[in-house]
Structure 1
Amino acid sequence: MIEKMKFLSITGPRSEFDRVVNVYLSKYEVHLENALSELKSVHDLKPFVEINPYKDVFSKSQELVDRFDKETPAVDKDMTPSMASAVINSASHELEDLTDKKKSLKVERDHLTELIKKIEPFRHLDYAVDKILDFKFIKFRFGRISHEYYNKFSKFVYDSLTTLFFECDSDSEYVWGVYFVPGSQHEKIDAIYSSLHFERIFIPAEYEGTPEEAYRLISRKKDAVVEKIKEIDDQIKERLNSKAVDILAAHEVLKAFNSNFDVRKLAACTRDSNSDSFYFILCGWITEKNVASLVKDIDNDANIYCMLEDDYEGITAKPPTKLKNFKLFKPFEMFISMYGLPAYNEIDPTSFVAITYSLIFGIMFGDVGQGLCLVLGGALLYKIKKVPLAAIVSIAGIFSTIMGFMYGSFFGFEHAIPTGWLKPMENVMTVLMVAVAFGSILIIIAMVINIINGIKAKDVEKIFFDTNGVAGLVFYVMALVCVLLIFTGHALPATILLAVFFGIPLLLMFFKEPLTHYVEKKSKIFPDQKGMFFVESFFELFEVVLSYLTNSISFLRVGAFALSHAAMMGVVMLLANVESGNPNIFILILGNLFVAGMEGLIVGIQVLRLEYYEMFSRFYRGTGKGFRPYKSK
């Protein structure tokens, strides 16, 4: 079912806005709407525009809190935003000297890291870097070249050039090295290396000794800097621990007010012409059960006023949808959300889906042993992981177990337990005919739900003239009656009755658009292009009549899967050589696991397909918007 909603407006002095959000919106579930859009008829409304005064100080508080140990608990302490800001600013000021030192050390650490990164590939070069950098008559270039070009260079070019390339390191893509060339020929040689995509790496004059010596020296310097940063972090923690309670409490206050500030985007602001005072207005939806408590709280607040709206005609926004179902049906809300939430004035199909899905699953997958495995496995997984799908599997497994008793099937053994109804493989036609009859009943129920939805929405076309309205229902039921009479050997009704119960519904569906316009007293009954209207209506009606047949036949898959399950388990029994009296236990277990896993998955998908395409398409639109209260943020 869908919870009833009430539309409310909360107003008060602009200075009280943060308190109202913090007290009322954090206590009660209110789905906020844009006040400017909803109150268009109110004059002198303006957006509630302000600069967030909590943003910077909250950022500071977050940095301070991040320095605490993760297990440090938050403290609930009565504190105003100004007090909280003062606590955070004071703590940040006391840490300025340490944070400045840490900042400069981080810059030094990053610089040393970059130096290490540059020199690391050249560690095998056994010559002092500082001496190479002082060469005057010989030019040098550090860099890297891909293996593809390096191989071509080594084979075809290297021996003909006045250059020396010293390979230092390599990986799967590149070769790192340094090449030397006489100063008089460097332009020509550089051009050749550039054509081979040699990527030059510039080495700064900060290295001492060979690359290996420089690497070790800089690594030691970096480790010393990292150690100093850790020491400063410890000093910062030591200073903060003395104020931990106040800082954590201030952070929670600023966090709430910083988050509350965003509510201004949905609020409107107006001015009292008599006193020139500014007032805010908040609009939104609240569940009917919480209205009385909220109104009672606000009545005791001298500066704040709350107004409830019972007439939804003047409200632009549609009421949000909040589903409320029995605990047993609640997991099936997942399927509803996947398709789309029901509109506020629609019937919540969760109960319908929960019952029909579980029942159809059981009919298609009837086995006592495998059903019990689904019940226990799904329940255990739901208890551990709280996955809604696991609960659905467990509930569907109950119906599989029940239908297993009806079929007399236990882990594929067809004679292990008494048969409560019939054996699918021994009554093929009965199973298929019952499946179609069962599907036809579900289609009729879906049509009835569609008519109820039409009544709730006051939609004349949906109630009377729609293919799933009264006209479609009469036609479909009459068609089923005729089929039943033929199969049972009885005579069909009189021609006049057939003409009435078939002809009138077809005419109503054919002329549904003009008839709707006539009932609603619109000036234009028929469209301008009447010829096109008749052609389109004819083909639409032909498609509708065909869909009644195909939708009903689609439920043959319910019986077909019941037969398929019995047939697959028959194959398992044959492979396990059960008839010999000495069955292969391993094959039995493996076969049951395979059938339960594969067929269970396929059946689950097929049942969902029947729900969505054969039933939902007749009565459900799924155009609702979810109830998202500010409190949940």
Structure 2
Amino acid sequence: MIKVVIAGHKKDLSKVIDTLHQKKVLHIVEHKRGQLDIGNPLREGEEISFLLLQIRGLISMLGIKRMAPKKELKFLNVKETKKDITKLFAVVQKRVDELAKIKTMLDSKKKQITILEKLSFYKGNLEALREIKSLAFFIGEVKDSAALEQEINNITAGYHLETNKGKSKDFLILAAEKTAENKISSILPKFSFRPEPLDIIAEFKGMPEDILIRIRPEFEKLQKRHESIEAFLNTLRSRLSSSLPLQENYLTKLTEKTEAPLRMAVTQNTFLVSGWLPQKNKDDTIKVLNAATKGRIAIEDASFDEHERVPVKLNNPALIRPFEFFLDLYALPNHHEIDPTVFIFLGFPIFFGMMLGDIGYGLVSLTLFLVLMKLIPQMKSLLKVMILSALSTIVFGFVFGEFFGAEELFGHEIPYLIHRTHDIQTMLVISVLIGVLHIVIGLLIGFYNELHHHGLLKAINAKLGWIVLLAGAGILLNELAFKVVMIPNGMIIGGALASLSIVMLFLGEGVRGMIELPGIFGNILSYARLMALGVASAGLAAVINDISMPMFRGGIIGIIAGTIILLLGHLINFVLGLIGPFLHSLRLQYVEFFTKFYEGGGTRYVPFGTK
């Protein structure tokens, strides 16, 4: 990646922008206003921005889903499209506003009709319930109106009660003397009294039945208008669901062009733009820019500071590319670091599969992720990672001989290489050895990075020192505890290597290296989770099977109970089996592995014209 500066006459600015936009190779470095001013958007920019806003407004109002476009527009007549879109926007805006207004009216009318239907047994005028100030009115639902009336009789004889009996509740209209209002109010809660909000029908006068006859047709008319507008908008949505997103995509890219001068330096007669492009594209870029401007252009390599953020272009094969998701989640490598995507590709699925490690769970997760990839295409990268992890789970399921925790299938024992619930010590040793290998790979990558950035001596002391420490500690551990390999003078060799490593680390990393000495062993022991999570998951699956299977011999109730326990238990274990391995696999990458070599802080290479 090289940094270049392009300078030319202001009259050629539009041609240069068009050419760079078509080439899609220059990552523009935004110019900050200082001694040189920034440019103004191209003339057509305002018109394009206005049209883009209207199209986005239509997409929003019509509820059109934005999907990744399968094709792209090659050309769009902005002036003609603006005329059509402006007219369409006005029509849709009017209909949407009307629809919102009608919806509010329908909600209000529906509430009014509901209350009036409850009051339809009342043969008096509604205004009487509001205008007689000498009486207290109680209107609403109660559980037992007959029992309530008995209690009211004990309070006052000055009342009038009308009721409409319901299945579970009665609707009542109670008029009583003002002097008895407080006492009646105090007994109403015993009968679950719920007052009706009569303010909703405050506008009406006359008998409830007469009012209903009048407003029901109004409600139906509003409903028909609502349905008509919705049908109109649905038709538009179907007709424009593919064209509007294509136009939006085209205009978004066009806006990037029209607003490009805002990222460049300009004077009265000249312009200047700086940016990054791959070395291999330099000659071709110079050629096409010279052709576009008839040679009225200057392109020079620009120097840059060592600490300047150089954009990074990740270049991975299709199979490995989805694992770049984890770098986007964490941090991109800086320009002098090795891209670790391939190592995540090798490590993450193995760790995940080793922890979940069950044929049945692997098949279910594989099916789930394939379905989700169809339903949520915007999560395709992560789901591709999880599909590979599910395949790894199936492979390790065969290694451990497990199918939903069972060791037999259709009466036949599932063959296995390692029985992880019985061979716990073996699993622990394998997990720790994987940890050592993973960390050593990280240190070797760190050695390469240090070699190219700080020189050979620093790389040897700061990175190989840790490998020497691990070698020495491994030999000492073998001599003191395991005696797996016979090494002549093992104690002397192990001690010498450990001592040498401490000197190397002090020279390479100073006091920090001394402080971090115990940490490397903690990092290695962290890989024991590969064994621990797997054993826990397998153990829980076995317990679920042991509890539920005998129930299937207990008649219909036993079959139902056994099925519930079996399905619910495995569902919970499956969910935990997805979350735990995912998080712990990620931790082993970020905390144990990346800390051995990775600085990050890179900026993604985004060439002008690719947005």
- Normalising by structure 2, what TM-score? 0.64
User: Could you say which residue in structure 2 is the equivalent of 1:392?
Assistant: 388
The separation in 1 between residues aligned to 2:455 and 2:428, in whole angstroms, is 37
Structure 1 equivalent of residue 557 of structure 2: none
Pair 1:233–1:353, CA change in 2 (3 A): closer
Q: Is the 8 A contact 1:31 1:285 kept in 2?
A: yes
Q: How does 1:346-365 map to 2 (within 5 A)?
A: 346-359=337-350
Q: Distance in 1 between matches of 2:606 and 2:63?
A: 33
Q: In structure 1, what is the equivalent of residue 118 of structure 2?
A: 124
Q: Where does residue 517 of structure 2 map in the other structure? A: 545
Alignment partners' CA distance in 2, 1:142 and 1:630: 72
Which residue, 595, 606, 611 being the options, matches 1:617?
Answer: 595
Please report how far the alpha carbon of residue 221 of structure 1 lies from its aligned counterpart in structure 2 after TM superposition: 1.8
Gaps of 5+ in 2: 551-561
Going from structure 1 to structure 2, the CA distance change for 1:13 and 1:480 (only over 3 Å counts) comes to same
Q: String of CA shifts for 1:229-280, please: whole Å, max 9, x gaps.
A: 7668889999x99xx99x998996677446754784993455434x4x7x5x
Residue 464 of structure 2 aligns with which residue?
470
How far apart are the structure 1 equivalents of 2:167 and 2:496? Answer: 86
Q: Secondary structure in 2 aligned to 1:301?
A: helix
Change (3 A) 1:44 1:236: closer
CA contact (8 A) 1:129 1:210 kept: yes
Question: Alpha-carbon deviation of 1:393?
Answer: 2.4
Match in the other structure for 2:316: 325
- Judged with a 3 Å threshold, the aligned counterparts in structure 2 of structure 1 residues 621 and 479 are, in CA distance, closer, same or farther, namely same
Match for residue 492 of structure 1 among 489, 493, 502: 489
Matched, 1:479 2:476: no
1:388, distance to aligned residue in structure 2 (A): 1.9
**1:385-534 to 2 correspondence within 5 Å?**
387-397=383-393, 399-400=395-396, 403=399, 432-433=428-429, 435-458=431-454, 463=459, 466=462, 469-484=463-478, 487=483, 488-492=485-489, 501-510=497-506
Contact 1:425-1:567 at 8 Å conserved across structures: yes
> Which of 37, 62, 82 is 1:85 aligned to?
82
Label 1:138 to 1:18 Cα distance change in 2 as closer, same or farther (>3 A): farther
CA–CA separation in structure 2 for the residues paired with 1:178 and 1:346 = 82
User: Which whole-Å deviations, capped at 9, do the CAs of 1:151-186 have from their partners, x for residues lacking one?
Assistant: 9999799946977687899999x999877678xx69
Deviations 1:521-574 (A, max 9, x none): xxxxxxxxxxxxxxxx4xx66653323333344445556778889999999999
The verdict on how the C-alpha distance between 1:179 and 1:396 changes in structure 2, with shifts beyond 3 A counting, is: same
Q: CA separation in 2, counterparts of 1:43 and 1:122?
A: 73
- Is the alpha carbon distance of 1:481 and 1:49 closer, same or farther for their aligned partners in structure 2, counting shifts above 3 Å? farther
Whether 1:218 aligns to 2:215 is yes
Q: CA, structure 1 residues 80+416, in 2 after alignment: closer, same or farther (shift >3 Å)?
A: closer
Residue identity in the other structure for 2:36: H
1:575-617: CA deviation from partner (whole Å, max 9, x where unpaired): 999xxxxxxxx99xx89x9699589656666554444443233
Q: Secondary structure at the residue paired with 2:36? A: coil
Aligned 8 A contact 1:321 1:626 in 2: yes
Please say if residues 366 and 391 of structure 2, whose CA atoms lie closer than 8 Å, have aligned partners that are also in contact: no
Match of 1:313 in 2: 305
Q: Distance in 1 between matches of 2:390 and 2:28?
A: 37
User: Is 2:354–2:393's contact at 8 Å kept on the other side of the alignment?
Assistant: no
Letter in 2 for 1:43: L
Who is 1:581 aligned against? none
CA distance in structure 2 between the aligned counterparts of 1:110 and 1:599, rounded to whole angstroms? 45
1:583 aligned partner? none
Cα deviation code 1:346-391 (max 9, x no counterpart) = 2222222332345556667778x66995897589658856522442
Gaps of 5+ in 1: 516-536, 578-585
**In structure 1, what residue type is equivalent to 2:128?**
I
Residues 482 and 492 in structure 1, CA contact (< 8 A), matched pair in contact too: no
Instruction: Give the C-alpha shift of residue 88 in structure 1.
Output: 4.0
How far apart are the structure 2 equivalents of 1:558 and 1:348? 25
CA 1:337 to 1:216, structure 2 compared with 1: closer, same or farther past 3 Å? farther
Amino acid aligned to 1:214: I
Matches of 2:516 and 2:446 in 1, distance apart?
16
User: Which SS does the other structure have where 2:317 is aligned?
Assistant: coil
Residue 179 to residue 618, structure 1, CA distance change in 2 (3 Å): farther
- Report percent identity of matched pairs: 18
Contact 1:58 1:251 in 2 (8 A): no
- Specify the SS of the correspondent of 1:120: helix
Residues 1:347 and 1:551: Cα distance change in structure 2 (over 3 Å): same
The match for 2:262 among 264, 267, 277 is 267
Give the structure 1 partner of residue 292 of structure 2: 301
TM-score (norm 1): 0.62
Which residue of 33, 36, 47 maps to 1:43?
A: 36
Q: Is the 8 A contact 1:48 1:264 kept in 2?
A: yes
- Are the aligned partners of 1:267 and 1:282 in contact in 2 as well (CA < 8 Å)? no
Counterpart contact for 1:127–1:211, Cα < 8 Å: yes
AA aligned to 2:334 is A
CA gap 1:491/1:351 in 2 versus in 1, 3 angstroms: same
Determine the C-alpha separation between the residues in 2 that align with 1:153 and 1:628.
Answer: 79
Distance verdict in 2 for CA 1:561–1:168, change over 3 Å: closer
What CA RMSD, in Å, does the superposition of the two structures yield over aligned residues? 6.5
Aligned residue pair count: 562
Aligned to 2:559: none
Separation in structure 1 between the aligned mates of residue 368 and residue 94 of structure 2, nearest angstrom: 57
Distance 2:11 2:165 in 1: 68
Q: Is 448-457 or 158-167 further displaced after alignment?
A: 158-167
CA separation of 1:423 and 1:234: change in aligned 2, threshold 3 A: closer
What amino acid does structure 1 have at the position aligned with 2:439? I
Partner SS, residue 204 of structure 2: coil
Residue 202, structure 1, aligned to residue 196, structure 2: no
Cα contact 1:80–1:253 (8 A) shared by 2: no
Aligned 8 A contact 2:12 2:293 in 1: no
How far apart are 1:618 and its partner, in Å? 2.1
Q: Deviations over 1:168-218 (max 9, x none)?
A: 99999x999877678xx69x98xx89xx99896535775354334424422
Output the CA distance in 2 between the equivalents of 1:10 and 1:128.
Answer: 88
In structure 2, give the amino acid aligned to 1:35. Answer: H
Task: Please tell me whether the aligned partners of residues 502 and 514 of structure 2 are also in contact (alpha carbons under 8 angstroms).
Answer: no
2-structure distance, mates of 1:136, 1:371: 73
Q: Answer yes or no: is the 8 Å Cα contact 1:382–1:391 preserved in 2.
A: no
In structure 2, relative to structure 1, the CA distance for the partners of 1:269 and 1:471 (3 Å cut) is closer
